[in-house]
Every structure is written in C-alpha cells, then in structure tokens.
Amino acid sequence: MRELLFVAATFLLLEPDALFGQAASSAAEIRVVVLNYKTGRPLAGRYIALVLLGPDGEYPNHAGAMTSKSGADGIAVFRFIAAPPPVVSVVALDDYECSKEVDFSTAEILQRGIAGEYADDNICKPHVLSAWIPKPGQIVFPIHRLNILQRIWRGLL
C-alpha cells in the first residue's frame, strides 16, 4: 500500500497537470547517439551524462546533470519535463570524448540535430567519417572506449 502511495505521489509531482485534467506540456527529449570513433558504429551500454548549463554556457553554482546508459542501438535518451536549459554539455563517463565540442545549443539540437566533429587528438586517430546524419533532437557523439588500464590512468590525472 505504501508503495502505491509513493508511486501516485511521484506521478503527481512529475505531472501536476494530470491532477487538474489538463493536457501535459510537451516534454523535450534529447537523444545522444554514441559512436565508436574507429568504426562509426553505435556503442551499447555506455554511460553518458548531460550537464545542464546556464544561459551563458557557464556552469551555474548548482549545475544539474542527468545520466543515461546507451541502449542496444547506441542511443542514450534524456527527457525533460520542463523546458530544457539553453546549453547542455555531453560527458562520456567511462570513455574519452572524441568530439571537438562538448557544449551544444539546445535550440539547435531540437531544431535540426548536431553531429560532433572529430577532435584532432592522437587518442582519436585514425577515425572514420560517420555516416550518421543527426535528426532533430539528436546529438551524434563519437567516443573512444577506454580499457581498464586507460580508465585507471585517466583517474590519476
């Protein structure tokens, strides 16, 4: 019984319009397509964080972050109940980002999608040109999957 009350209370907190019979506001969704930098293929099971930045692209005092794990299709999904922030930053939690840019305009993502350009970095070479064309709401993000020794070394730096 207590679990049922908790679920109902959580639903009402997340969707208060449902209590008054109003249509729920359109929620935004950002999808991060995680690609292997060498093959250009989607990577499943990779942890991605989306850091919510302020309007000026700076980290506010209490920057929020959302985390997601990429599915079998290599896509990590982030859903916003309220309007998303104007700028978001993508962080590969266990891997190395092979994108020049990690901060992206939310308006641009939602309107036409964004493909991260490959960084000119030795750890991300050689890379293939990706055949992925981003759709509205998508960020195509290349990463270098680190092995356990590389993760330990990265943690020490």
The token pair at 141 is 């993000």
For residue 93, what are its two tokens? Answer: 């939690």
Beta bridge partners of 138: 31
In this structure, what token pair is assigned to residue 51? 């850091």
- Residue at 10 is within a domain: no
DSSP state letter for 99: B
Asked if residue 143 belongs to a domain, the reply is yes
Q: Which helix (H) or strand (E) holds 153?
A: helix 148-156
Q: Domain span at residue 65? A: 26-156
Model pTM score? 0.75
pLDDT digits (tens, 9 = 90+) for 71-113: 999 999 999 988 888 899 899 988 888 888 888 999 999 999 9
- Tell me, yes or no, whether 2 lies in a domain: no
CATH of the domain at 107: 2.60.40.1120
Tokens 């292997």: give the residue. Answer: 36
